[in-house]
Amino acid sequence: MNRIGVKSGTLPSGLRDWRSLDGILEEVLEPGIELVLCPRPEVPLITVTFLWEGGALLDAPDYFGQAQTTSELLVKGTKTSDAITLAARFEVLGADFETWAGRECLGITLSAPRRVFPKVWDLVEDVFESSRFTASELHKLQKRSIAAIRVAKDGDPRSLLSVYADSWIYGSGSPYGHPVGGDEISLGRLEPGSLRRFWFQHLRDRRAVVSVAGDFDPDEIRASLTRIFSSRKVQNPGSSDLQVPVEPPIGMRGLFIDRPGATQCYFWMGGLGVDRRYPERVGLELVQSVLGGRFNSLLNRRLRIEEGLTYGAHAGYTLPSFRGVSYLTSYTPTERTRRALDAAFDVLRRAREVGLLEADLKAGRLYLKGQEAFRYETTNQWSFRLALRRFHHLSLADWAGYAEALDQISPARAGVILREVFPAPEDCFLVVIGDARSLLPDLVDLGEWSLESLSSPGFGPARPQPVEPVKV
Amino acid sequence: MLWPDPGNPRAALYMFYQVGSADEPAAPTGLAHFLEHMMFNGSARFPDGDFDRVLEAAGGSNNAYTTEEMTVYHEHFPATATATAFALEMDRMRTLLIDAERVDRERGVILSEREASVENDPVACFLEEVQAVACAGTAYAHPVIGWAEDIARIDESSLSRFYNRHYRYARPTIVGVGGIEPEHWNRLCVDQGLDQAPDRVAGASEPVPVGPHSAGERRIERSAAVQSSYLALSFPTPAVTAPSALAHELLWTVLVEGVASRLHALLVERKAEAIALEAYRIGHRVPGCRILLVALAPGRRPQTVERTIRQALAQLADAGPTDEERIRAINQRLASYYHQLESVTGRAELLGRAWTLHRDLSRIQTYPGRLEAVGADEIRDAARDAFGQGGWTVGCLHPDGT
For residue range A403-414, list pLDDT tens digits in order. Answer: 999 999 999 999
| CB atoms closer than 10 angstroms to residue B118 | 20
Q: Count of residues for chain A?
A: 472
d(CA A263, CA A344): 20
Which residues are CB-neighbours of B57 under 8 A, at least 6 positions away?
A362, A363, A366, A367
**A299 Ramachandran zone, left/alpha/beta (phi>0; psi -120 to 50):** alpha
B59–A4: do the CB atoms touch at under 8 Å? no
- A304 interaction partners in chain B (CB closer than 8 Å): 109
pLDDT tens digit string along B48-76?
Answer: 889 999 999 999 999 999 999 999 999 99
pLDDT of the residue at B227: 85
**Contact (CB<8Å) B351/A3:** no
Mean pLDDT for chain B overall: 92
Q: Which residues of chain B lie closer than 8 angstroms to A333, CB-CB? A: 111-112, 115
Of A125, A131, A147, the C-alpha closest to A78 is A131
Helices (H), B2-121: 31-38, 50-57, 82-94, 100-114
CA-CA distance, A212 to A221, in Å (whole number)? 8
SS3 label, residue A383: helix
Are A10 and B116 in contact (CB < 8 Å)? no
Three-class SS of residue B218?
A: strand
CB within 8 Å: B120 and A262: yes
pLDDT tens-place string over residues B176-217 = 999 999 999 999 999 988 877 555 543 444 555 666 666 689
Is the distance from CB of A238 to CB of A431 less than 8 angstroms? no
Contacts of B334 in chain A (CB under 8 A): 94, 113
Interface touch B331/A113, C-beta < 8 Å: yes
pLDDT average, residue stretch A293-303: 95
Is A11–B7 a contact, with Cβ atoms under 8 angstroms apart? yes
Task: Single out the residue of A174, A144, A196 nearest to residue A59, CA to CA.
Answer: A174
The whole-angstrom distance between A30's CA and the closest CA on chain B is 31
Distance of alpha carbon A315 from the chain centroid: 15
Per residue in A96-131, pLDDT tens?
999 999 999 999 999 999 999 999 999 999 999 999
In this complex, the residue of A143, A332, A371 whose CB is nearest that of residue B61 is A371
Give B342 to chain A, closest Cα distance, Å: 5
Question: What is the predicted pLDDT for the residue at B208?
Answer: 58
Confidence of residue B241 (pLDDT cuts 50, 70, 90): very high
CB nearest B2 (choices: A3, A116, A264): A3
- pLDDT value at residue A331: 94
Q: What is the pLDDT of residue A2?
A: 33
Q: In this structure, how many other beta carbons lie within 10 angstroms of the beta carbon of residue A11?
A: 19
Q: Do B112 and A311 touch (CB under 8 A)?
A: yes
Q: Supply the DSSP string of A401-428, one letter for each residue.
A: THHHHHHT--HHHHHHHHHHHSPPGGG-
Give the nearest chain A residue to B106 (CA atoms): A308
- The single-letter code of the amino acid at A162 is S
- Which residues of chain A does B342 touch, with a Cβ-Cβ cutoff of 8 Å? 42-43, 45, 377-379
pLDDT given at position B214: 60
For B74-121, write each residue's pLDDT tens digit. 999 999 999 999 999 999 999 999 999 999 999 988 998 898 889 888
Which residue type is seen at B381? D
pLDDT score for B215:
66
- Model confidence at A397, in pLDDT bands (50, 70, 90)? confident
Question: Positive or negative, the Cα torsion across B157, B159, B165, B171?
Answer: negative
Residue A378 has its nearest CB partner, among B1, B261, B342, at B342
From the number of C-beta atoms within 10 Å of its C-beta (0-12, 13-18, 19+), residue B35 rates as buried
Q: Is the pLDDT of residue A463 over 60?
A: no
Partner residue opposite A311 with nearest CB, options B109, B332, B339: B109
The closest CB to that of A333, out of B79, B112, B259, belongs to B112
Confidence of residue B401 (pLDDT cuts 50, 70, 90): confident
Judge whether residue A380 has pLDDT over 70.
Answer: yes
Contact: A154, B123; criterion CB under 8 Å: yes
- Judged by CB atoms closer than 8 Å, whether chains meet at B77 and A370 is answered as yes
- Say how far apart CA B39 and CA B36 lie, in whole Å: 5
The answer to whether residues B389 and B351 touch, using CB atoms and an 8 Å cutoff, is no
CA distance B35 to B160: 9
pLDDT at A11 over 50: no
Residue in B60, B76, B227 closest to A154 by CB: B227
List of chain A residues whose C-beta atoms are within 8 Å of the C-beta of residue B148: none
pLDDT surpassing 60 at residue A296: yes
As a whole number of angstroms, the distance between CA A95 and CA B338 comes to: 12
φ, ψ (nearest 5 deg) of residue B224: -160, 175
Task: Tell if the CB–CB gap between B298 and A147 is shorter than 8 Å.
Answer: yes
CB B249 within 8 A of CB B337: no
